[in-house]
Amino acid sequence: MSAALKLNEFNLLDDAQCDARIAAAKNILGKKLVILGHHYQRSEVYKHADLKGDSLMLSRMAAETEAEYVVFCGVHFMAEVADIVTGGRRTVILPDLAAGCQMADMANLVKVRSCWEELSQVLDPDACITPVTYINSAANLKAFCGSHGGIVCTSSNARGVLEWSFAQREKVLFFPDQHLGRWSAYKMGIPLEQMVVWDFTRPRGGLEPEQIRQARMILWKGHCAVHQMFRPQHVDEFRRQVPNGRVISHPENALEVCLKSDRVGSTETILKTVRAAEPGSHWLVGTELNLVNRLAEEMKPKGVTVQFMSPMVCMCSTMFRIDPQHLAWTLDNLVVGKVVNQIRVPAEVAQPARQALDRMLAIAQ
């Protein structure tokens, strides 16, 4: 068997050379390979994807293929989900192991366990709190939820997951994104005064015991760096410039932005809504730049204007780490029989994580 090919040799190639090598490798590997491309991925890589979508959708589609190799052009937690959902029956690969998620990193197992222990000083968390983790989190946090009667959610099903969670226990600990949790609970009619933010850098989350006892939603102090860039004034300025315009935002945005939007929804909801828009309409979109730019180009021939919400460029910088050079390197290694950057979730983590995912999937059915 040949030695593994070195990445530094591929870093010297330009994008056109990488495109040719990627196409050749895909032709050789055939049905043994499937490339997954997340909506936020850069276009130079996204164009090579066989399947495109959001993280959970892609993992479920990968499980339905006969491919031996699943190359996930996304970030680390997405590849972990793909390995869990495919039950270890596929070889899941992340072209660049540095492609992480800043939001996911804001909640780790040590911090969450510490939170659970500190909550136990005030009440019995296993008796009265359902832990809920956004799918944008590490596998071991999904496993924590699975082991404590909790569940996973996505941006499209968060409200339904919260309804299930409150049916189990009176409170919810929601991590790592406070904004998705706050918006989803707000839409359920839970008052803002019954929501508190757990600051993991402070003792007992910076909360008094009575605040914890009175709260229904305990929101982890985490956020998406991309969606933090969008501000209510961006919506206000658009309203002044385009009085008949429409605004659609991702629920990872701050509550103030969501409240000023005409529609709030997941990436799939944003795509579906704008694609169904009437010719002549003008949309302000509050989500990641690569998705918005592609959608703008797609809708231009249909007479629909799509505008990025922030005046500043903001894209998912960690996902941007996956480039044509890393993808070509990954595929050429597969051609010579070498697997690089495989993502494998240990069984003792995958099993309870799958429990939490299965609870979510059962609700959606």
Of 106, 252, 249, residue with least CA distance to 175: 106
What is the Cα–Cα distance from 57 to 311, expressed in whole angstroms? 30
Q: pLDDT (tens digit, 9 = 90+) per residue, 53-91? A: 887 788 888 888 889 999 999 989 999 999 999 988 999
Closest C-alpha among 209, 171, 207 to residue 190: 171
CA 128 from centroid of its chain's CA atoms: 27
pLDDT score at 313: 63
Instruction: Give strand pairing partners of 153.
Output: 134
Answer whether 283's CB lies under 8 Å from 246's CB: yes
What number of H helices and E strands is found in the chain? 18, 13
Hey, what's the torsion of the CAs at 8, 11, 17, 19, to 10 degrees? Answer: 110
Q: Do domains 7-99+318-346 and 104-224 have the same CATH topology?
A: yes
One-letter identity of residue 121 = Q
Q: How far is the CA of 137 from the CAs of 153, 176, 223, 346, in angstroms?
A: 10, 7, 12, 16
Q: What is the pLDDT of residue 204?
A: 96
Give the CA distances from residue 277 to residues 117, 300, 305, 318, 352, in Å, rounded to whole numbers and listed in that order.
49, 12, 10, 31, 42
Fold of 227-308: Rossmann fold (3.40.50)
Q: Are 225 and 103 in contact (CB under 8 A)?
A: yes
pLDDT of residue 314: 58
Q: How far apart are CA 136 and CA 158, in angstroms?
A: 12
CATH class of 7-99+318-346: alpha beta
In whole angstroms, give the CA distance from residue 188 to residue 291.
Answer: 28
Instruction: Show me where the domains of the chain are located.
Output: 7-99+318-346, 104-224, 227-308
State the burial class of residue 351 (Cβ atoms within 10 Å of its Cβ: 0-12, 13-18, 19+): middle
pLDDT at 15: 95
Question: How many Å apart are CA 51 and CA 169, to the nearest integer?
Answer: 38
Q: What is the percent of the chain where pLDDT is above 90?
A: 79
Confidence of residue 36 (pLDDT cuts 50, 70, 90): very high
Given this model, what pLDDT does residue 316 score? 58
- pLDDT of 259 above 70: yes
Is the omega angle on the peptide bond into residue 176 within 30 degrees of 0, that is, cis? yes
Of the listed ranges 51-55, 132-136, 150-154, 169-173, the one predicted with least confidence:
51-55
H/E segment holding residue 230:
none
In the chain, which ranges are continuous DSSP H helix? 7-10, 15-29, 43-46, 55-64, 76-85, 102-105, 109-119, 125-128, 139-147, 158-168, 178-187, 209-214, 232-241, 255-259, 267-275, 289-299, 324-335, 347-364
CA-CA distance, 313 to 289, in Å (whole number)?
A: 7
- Residue 364 — very low, low, confident or very high, per pLDDT cuts 50/70/90? low
Sign for the CA dihedral angle at 82, 86, 87, 90 comes to negative
Residue 176 is predicted with a pLDDT of 96
Architecture in CATH of 104-224: 3-Layer(aba) Sandwich (3.40)
What is residue 65's predicted lDDT score, i.e. its pLDDT? 87
pLDDT at 55: 73
Kind and range of the H or E run holding 266: none
Any idea what the Cα angle at residue 145 is, between residues 138 and 228, rounded to 5°?
Answer: 50
pLDDT band at residue 195, thresholds of 50, 70 and 90? very high
Name the band, by pLDDT with cuts 50, 70 and 90, for residue 317.
Answer: low
Instruction: Give yes or no for a contact between 106 and 176, defined as CB atoms under 8 angstroms apart.
Output: yes
Indicate if the pLDDT at residue 132 is higher than 90.
Answer: yes
The pLDDT score that the predictor gives to residue 42 is 86
CA 299 to CA 306: how far, in whole Å? Answer: 7
Give per-residue pLDDT as tens, 117-131. 999 999 999 999 999
Q: How far apart are CA 44 and CA 151, in angstroms?
A: 35
Residue 319 pLDDT grade (very low, low, confident, very high; cuts 50, 70, 90) = low
